Structure 1
Amino acid sequence: MGRPQDPQRPLFFGNPFRMIYKGANLSPKLLDLLKTFEVTLAERLKKLKPVDREDILRLSWMRFAMESLCAIHTDIKTLITALELPVCGWDAKWIDVYLDNSVKLLDICIAFSSEISRLNQSHLFLQCVLHNLEGASKQFMRAQSSLDGWRKHISSKNPRIENCFAIMDCLAETIDLPKIKNSAKGKVLMRAMYGVKVITLFICSIFAAAFSGSMKKLVDLHVPETFSWAEAFTDLQASMNNEIRKIYSNRRITVLKDLEAVDTSVNKLYPIVQDGLDPVEAEALQYSTSDLRTQTENFSQGLDLLAKEVDSFFQIVLTGRDALLCNLRVGGNVTKSVQPTDNIQGQAVRKID
């Protein structure tokens, strides 16, 4: 696992929307749409803050975070529909940024799915351990070999997760969206998209930190106070990042709480298996084996549920991208700058096959 890094300097972004109200002449309808979106966003952020800090980096929280991210991206789709802003009215810069970022998000989803699958594969090692210890004839050497295999598998690195850091760097560089001059609807859309990008980057950075065993890319984003959801975001970010950094300073094999519970069970069982069983340890073996089964099943179920939410997010990003590309083709507005990005979509999808 990577060693704890010094806290990252906050990423300060200028407020690209300081002119959104000045001279924008937003209609009551547009103001109401924007307000509804931002109020909903703030409420979603408040619900993301764990009541118990022990829930931070649990699979249940990560599942809820991904579920919330799906809801936020669905909210922006709803807003786009309500704005009645046809694709032909989109600036080419907006389209390029959207398509480029969507590919990056698809790649991040693929990396997360890959790591969840890798972690789930560790279940096979522990199933072998349980098989060799729960039968009438105990196979201690085989059980020990499987425990060693589990430890080696869990401590290995996933290159796709390491690559996420570079992808998130690119997302951070484009978080300051293009300036909007003559479109009131465009201003509303870009302001809403800014919020979606900030929260997406924040949540993805937490996932990458949890999966990689490194907090080097745990982001600290500064959101201008002009956004009504800024306070909720700042509170959530401070709470999560501070606790995650504390966890890193005291961690063992992992920072994932559910995986740590499995590791604790393995550590209790290992010396019994290693030394061989005597009458005094029979009860301890039974208890440790039962505990390992419980923790293993909980971990596997948690990973399965998280995998479903990551896949749901992938599908939301992909369908949104497909819809935009379809509208561009129908309108005959596919530019040269868009076409290469369209090809990347096919590459990203094929990676999952």
Structure 2
Amino acid sequence: MSRPQDPPRSFFPFGNPFRMIAPKGTKLSPQLLEVICNFEAKLEERMKKLIPKSKDEILCLSWMTSAMQALCESHNDIKTLIDNLELPVHDWDEKWIDVYLDISVKLLDVCIAFSSELSRLNQGQLLLQCALHHLDESSSKQFVRASSSLDGWRQHIGSQNPRIEKCGNILEDLKGSLDLLKVKKSAKGKVLMQAIYGVKALTVFVCSVFAAVFSGSTKNLLDLDVADMHSWAPAFKSLQNVVNEEIRVRFSSGRLMVLSELEAVDSSVKELYPTIQGVDVDTIESESLVKIVEKFGRETEKLSQGLDLLAKEVDGFFQVVLSGRDALLSNLRSGATFNDSILGGNRDAQAVN
């Protein structure tokens, strides 16, 4: 890790692995220009799709699921790009390999932190289900038990996840590695580095949003200053500005839960709790209670389904990073063609961070 006074590291702090591939001053051919233009067009389209049409669409599990899907698709595009470029594996610098492995480990750590938080939220679902079970029977004894389950959920959901708290430093390190190194001696290297820059920018942005939402704090929210030279830069900046601004607005208003589905459940709990706590069954209006419980059940189910879908996408991204590391190490041992993803990014591919 660089010292605080040192400038951020580039993708290749120890030298350019493409330095021997092509002569100095190589320019992009029309074919390579078409390749990178097509790549960036697809990346730009994904970013545009993530720009919410309304503020209500921003901090919800469906948006987060779409964002994680966009990361997996973008990393898969990197694999396809490397396949098309047919970049060979020569004698890669061991120091560069160490740097890549270090960065991919950071991505794995972030994925593990996100998975642990989703697991923690799912554990809270058990308490909500217990409350719903007790509410099936209209008795003072069952209402007391339901109230106890709701109390337990509030305490559980308000606790902190140590793994999420560590994400801030990891993301800062990843942000520091965003500098785009100029590859002067390889046309293919230029294309590859330009593609990686965009994918990595999207990855760091999405992960910082997740970390902010899960931690309940804007301290993990990053603002990336991407290079204007890229066609996708306007879309990225619009996406970042809209999402980050809304996150900051919600936190500044004192809202402890910024995730929409979680807020909806919390609102239902606040409505239900005083109705069933310490009251005689005879004093409760049955029709009113049924409506409140039904609403609580619907919101609980939405949260449960959303968490499950997002957890699958996060696990999928983890597998992309992990399998990419394995593929790189395998290719290096066998001297095979380097046709895998970078950045920690594709199933059979490996990395140039």
- Normalising by structure 1, report the TM-score: 0.84
**1:80 maps to which residue?**
82
Picking from 313, 320, 328, the partner of 2:317 is 313
Give percent identity, aligned residues only.
Answer: 59
Distance 1:201 1:64, change over 3 A: same
Moved more, 138-147 or 62-71: 138-147
Picking from 187, 201, 205, the partner of 2:204 is 201
What's the secondary structure of 1:87's corresponding residue?
Answer: coil
**Residues 90 and 186, structure 1, Cα contact 8 Å, conserved in 2:** no
Taking the aligned partners of 2:82 and 2:94, their CA distance within structure 1 comes to: 16
- The structure whose residues are more often helix, as a share, is 1
What's the secondary structure of 2:218's corresponding residue?
Answer: coil
**1:118 maps to which residue?**
120
Picking from 84, 99, 102, the partner of 2:101 is 99
Q: How far does residue 96 in structure 1 lie from its aligned partner after superposition?
A: 3.7
**2:258 maps to which residue?**
255
Q: How far does residue 278 in structure 1 lie from its aligned partner after superposition?
A: 4.0
Taking the aligned partners of 2:179 and 2:275, their CA distance within structure 1 comes to: 57
Structure 2 letter corresponding to 1:154: I
Q: CA RMSD in A?
A: 2.4
Taking the aligned partners of 1:94 and 1:72, their CA distance within structure 2 comes to: 23
What's the secondary structure of 1:222's corresponding residue?
Answer: coil
Gaps of 5+ in 2: 1-7, 13-23, 338-353
**Residues 272 and 281, structure 1, Cα contact 8 Å, conserved in 2:** no
Structure 2 letter corresponding to 1:305: L
Structure 2 letter corresponding to 1:297: E
Structure 2 letter corresponding to 1:28: P
Distance 1:70 1:102, change over 3 A: same
- Write the mapping of 1:157-196 to structure 2, written as runs, cut at 5 A: 157-196=160-199
Q: How far does residue 296 in structure 1 lie from its aligned partner after superposition?
A: 0.6
Distance 1:57 1:76, change over 3 A: same
Taking the aligned partners of 1:106 and 1:36, their CA distance within structure 2 comes to: 29
Structure 1 letter corresponding to 2:312: K
What's the secondary structure of 1:216's corresponding residue?
Answer: helix
Structure 1 letter corresponding to 2:192: L
Taking the aligned partners of 1:220 and 1:45, their CA distance within structure 2 comes to: 16
Structure 2 letter corresponding to 1:292: F
Structure 2 letter corresponding to 1:211: F
- Normalising by structure 2, report the TM-score: 0.84
Taking the aligned partners of 2:80 and 2:91, their CA distance within structure 1 comes to: 17
Q: How many residues align?
A: 318
1:300 aligns with 2:304: yes
Q: How far does residue 85 in structure 1 lie from its aligned partner after superposition?
A: 0.4
What's the secondary structure of 2:166's corresponding residue?
Answer: helix
Moved more, 270-279 or 148-157: 270-279
Cα deviation code 1:44-103 (max 9, x no counterpart):
110110112101110000000001111011111111111100122756565444322211
Cα deviation code 1:247-267 (max 9, x no counterpart):
112243411110000000000
Taking the aligned partners of 1:95 and 1:192, their CA distance within structure 2 comes to: 19
Gaps of 5+ in 1: 1-11, 17-21, 334-353
Q: How far does residue 328 in structure 1 lie from its aligned partner after superposition?
A: 0.5
Moved more, 29-38 or 65-74: 29-38
Taking the aligned partners of 2:40 and 2:92, their CA distance within structure 1 comes to: 21
Moved more, 214-223 or 97-106: 97-106
**1:130 maps to which residue?**
132
Distance 1:280 1:146, change over 3 A: closer
Q: How far does residue 282 in structure 1 lie from its aligned partner after superposition?
A: 2.5
**Residues 94 and 178, structure 1, Cα contact 8 Å, conserved in 2:** no
**Residues 25 and 184, structure 2, Cα contact 8 Å, conserved in 1:** no
Cα deviation code 1:241-295 (max 9, x no counterpart):
1111111122434111100000000000110112414445322221111111111
Distance 1:274 1:200, change over 3 A: same
- Write the mapping of 1:19-58 to structure 2, written as runs, cut at 5 A: 23-58=25-60
Taking the aligned partners of 2:278 and 2:215, their CA distance within structure 1 comes to: 33
Q: How far does residue 310 in structure 1 lie from its aligned partner after superposition?
A: 0.5
Taking the aligned partners of 2:336 and 2:227, their CA distance within structure 1 comes to: 38
Taking the aligned partners of 1:86 and 1:286, their CA distance within structure 2 comes to: 66
Distance 1:267 1:217, change over 3 A: same
